[in-house]
Amino acid sequence: MTARPKLTLRLCEPRGFCAGVDRAIQIVVLAIKKHGAPVYVRHEIVHNRYVVEGLRAKGAIFIEELSEIPPEHRDRPVVFSAHGVPKSVPEDAEERSLFYLDATCPLVSKVHKQAMRHRRLGRHVLLIGHAGHPEVIGTMGQLPEGEVTLVETENDADKLAFSDDVSLGFVTQTTLSVDDTAGIIARLKQRFPHMEAPAAESICYATTNRQDAVKQAAEGCDLFLIVGAPNSSNSRRLVEVAERSGAKLAKLVQQADEIEWWDRLGDGALVGLSAGASAPEIIVDAIIESFRERFDVTVDIALAMEENETFPVMRALRDVELTPADMAFVNGAA
């Protein structure tokens, strides 16, 4: 029998679900347990197809607008996604007499509060983020139209024109590249020295930690795989970080069957593996198993830091027991 080629799998920690994503998924699961199916979810609860399909199988119906809820289901719960929503969305829900559960990540809510604080103090808000991302839409929707200016790049920062008597304050999308954002902030401060920072860091701990872990692990990797969806901002940023930090090739994959680079990995190859904050561990496990089927695998843990943050669900759902079996579709068997 021919010996399988050796391969080292450098597995990043932390990786995968952050506390905000975990909480949002739990909210949908608990709402279905408490109220029965269907439970409506406005937008993807998190940006991961596997998670969405798993919740759909449990009884969730995903919609983009509240108007899609049929009249006979107006008494059903509707959950707002972890990315946050403009103020107009809960207002619309109340006008329609809908029962809604807001699964906005607490760290996104913190950015909303920071933006509103800037406005309360008389500052025009500069939001560093990606146009069209649900989180950006939600943050801009906390303030009246025209009171937030989106800045995507350093080039955008160069094009801004504000008179000296305009007070400015900035916030950022929570899932950005730490390094890219630092460059944009530096350019803004150069142009507008009196611009005020938010009261606390906007980029969330999970984004920073996952990027730090990938930076630490990428050097010397023949291939670096990031588990995540194409519309997941934090997952795409991890691919960029891996490329910048020394990986020869970095790719975003949603599941194990998307990996097509086996033939590029010779004996003794080094492969990095991490997952975006909305990617379930059960997919990471499946990818590791796929490598074991083809290679003699040694797993090397690249530990950047330990995470122990948790965010409780809202009081309306705390009377429902959440069991390991309820979350096995994303976490695997206990």
| Residue 12 contacts residue 210 (beta carbons within 8 Å) | yes
Say how far apart CA 33 and CA 35 lie, in whole Å: 6
Question: What's the CA gap between 62 and 68, in Å, rounded?
Answer: 10
- Asked if 302 and 213 count as a contact pair (C-beta separation under 8 A), the reply is yes
The four Cα atoms 175, 132, 63, 145 give a dihedral, to 10 degrees, of 110
Query: Distance between CA 101 and CA 39 in Å, rounded?
Result: 10
| Residue 6 neighbours by CB distance under 10 Å | 13
Annotated catalytic residue, options 135, 240, 293, 306: 135
Cα–Cα distances in Å, from 175 out to 92, 105, 334? 27, 12, 29
CB atoms within 10 A of CB 118: 25
DSSP string computed for 207-241: HHHHHHHHHHHHTT-SEEEEE--TT-HHHHHHHHH
User: Can you tell me whether residue 81 is helix, strand or coil?
Assistant: coil
User: Does residue 135 carry a catalytic annotation?
Assistant: yes
Q: Residue 191 CB: number of other CB atoms within 10 A?
A: 14
Residue of 134, 168, 169, 173 whose CA lies nearest to 152: 173
What are the residue numbers of the active site? 135
